[in-house]
Amino acid sequence: MQRLQVESRLASYQVVAEPGALGRLGEVLAAEGLAAPRSLVSDTVVAPLWAQAAAASCGASLLTIPAGEASKCWATVEDLLGRWLERGLHRGELVAAVGGGVVSDLVGFAAAVFLRGIAWVAAPTTLVGMVDAAIGGKTGINLERGKNLVGAFWPPRLVVIDPQALRTLPARELAAGGAEVVKTAWLGDRGLLPVIRDMAQPRFGALPVEVWQELVMRCATVKAGVVSADEREAGPRAALNLGHTLGHALEAATAYRRFLHGEAVAWGLLAAARLGRRRGLLSPAACEELSSAVRALGPLPGIADLAAEAVASHIGRDKKRDDGGVAWVLPSDGGVALGQRVTIDEALEVFTELQKAAS
Ligand code: GLY
């Protein structure tokens, strides 16, 4: 079992990885000193592939939510809380989330508010979940006004990664997750960038499970380091938002229907690279290094037809705005520059450049 430690103000926890861990989830939890969860939550896609076996291995009842971002809402939280109450779950118990970022964000949030907080474990089954969403304790749901506008910092007791789950992930989801891998590599493991370029489509999906585990755990190590140093995003954790300002705006401007999260982040990374270059934060070579790793992931859903003003208006509603405007994270040669004020006009210009370059 490969493992790494994440520090947390509430309770530090481990990320463990091993092929086959999902089918032996009960055993893995017991070996880590955790009780078997009574409730395991997954979605309609992941349940038959991985979660039924995981639930059976720990004797948990399986609750299934509809797959997709639309489930990350108040109604699903209320439904989940009701079902946990019906089953008589109490404060001393553990629940488990088996699925992608939607499942871990949602179940983590429901766990944070159920009876004022119960323990949970995350078993991410997507690349985005493994390298980002399940680590660091950010949980939450979307509102109509935007993504992740309601949430809580509520770290899991354990993150269990089974790299075999990536075998059933559609190629599009894998490539989308690749954008979070590129982001993470940029922040803390640049040696991964050429690896990603070499591994990317069409061979991305065919990688051996050991290679996936190594890639995922290298990213998880970077993420664990960042969130251990700044769990509550008082400062450096904001670096993880690289690519997310435009990314979240694109998702919202298309009602979460056109882009997978990672695909929107990929566009966001390309825009951030252009902004970094404009401001002299990035050399031409570094700009190309970042942009080419994103492009290597394959074609993205288009942006040419999107009204730039609509996208800009969503940027203006970003969570990272204050009275001084929207603070972007921009890539620099050495890493990132935090809190970069980008005016709406400049964001519009760069978005229009991207649209032209992509058409
Ligand atoms: N996904 C960004 C963070 O965990 O801070």
Q: Are residues 203 and 324 in the same domain?
A: yes
DSSP letter, residue 121: E
Q: How far is the CA of 73 from the centre of ligand 1 (A)?
A: 19
Q: Are residues 8 and 125 in the same domain?
A: yes
Q: Are residues 238 and 271 in the same domain?
A: yes
Q: Are residues 86 and 193 in the same domain?
A: no
Instruction: Quote the tokens at residue 45.
Output: 């896609």
pLDDT digits (tens, 9 = 90+) for 130-179: 999 999 999 999 988 778 889 999 999 999 999 999 999 998 999 999 99
Q: For residue 196, what pLDDT band results from cuts at 50, 70 and 90?
A: confident
Q: How far is the CA of 86 from the centre of ligand 1 (A)?
A: 32
Boundary-marking domain end, from 167, 193, 210: 167
Say whether 136 sits in a helix, a strand or coil. Answer: coil
Q: Which residues contact 4 (CB under 8 A, 6 or more apart)?
A: 14, 15, 217, 220, 221, 224
Boundary-marking domain end, from 167, 196, 224: 167
> How confident is the model at residue 359, as a pLDDT?
76
Q: Are residues 6 and 106 in the same domain?
A: yes
Q: Are residues 64 and 132 in the same domain?
A: yes
Ligand 1 atom nearest to 136, measured from its CA = 4
Q: Are residues 152 and 204 in the same domain?
A: no
Annotation says 180 is catalytic: yes
Which among 232, 240, 263 is positioned nearest to 250, based on CA atoms? 263
pLDDT digits (tens, 9 = 90+) for 42-85: 999 999 999 999 999 999 999 999 999 889 999 999 999 999 99
Catalytic residue selected from 147, 248, 274, 314: 248
Q: What average pLDDT does the chain have?
A: 93
Q: Are residues 156 and 249 in the same domain?
A: no
> How confident is the model at residue 145, as a pLDDT?
77
Burial of 308 (0-12, 13-18, 19+ CB in 10 A): middle
Annotation says 90 is catalytic: no
CA distance 297 to 126: 16
Q: For residue 324, what pLDDT band results from cuts at 50, 70 and 90?
A: low
Q: Are residues 157 and 204 in the same domain?
A: no
Number of domains in the chain: 2
CATH of the domain at 356: 1.20.1090.10
Ligand 1 atom nearest to 133, measured from its CA = 1
Boundary-marking domain end, from 128, 144, 167: 167
| Residue of 131, 138, 147, 230 best suited for mutating to test ligand 1, as the one with most atoms within 8 Å of CB | 138
CA distance 206 to 208: 7
CATH of the domain at 43: 3.40.50.1970
Residue-range definition of the domain harbouring residue 79: 2-167
Q: Are residues 241 and 163 in the same domain?
A: no
Residues lining ligand 1, Cβ inside 6 A? 132, 136, 138, 237, 240
Q: Are residues 117 and 205 in the same domain?
A: no
CA distance 112 to 61: 20
Phi–psi pair at 338, nearest 5 degrees: -90, 160
pTM of the model: 0.93
Annotation says 116 is catalytic: yes
Catalytic residue selected from 69, 93, 173, 180: 180
Q: For residue 227, what pLDDT band results from cuts at 50, 70 and 90?
A: very high
Q: Hey, what amino acid is at 55?
A: A
Annotation says 321 is catalytic: no
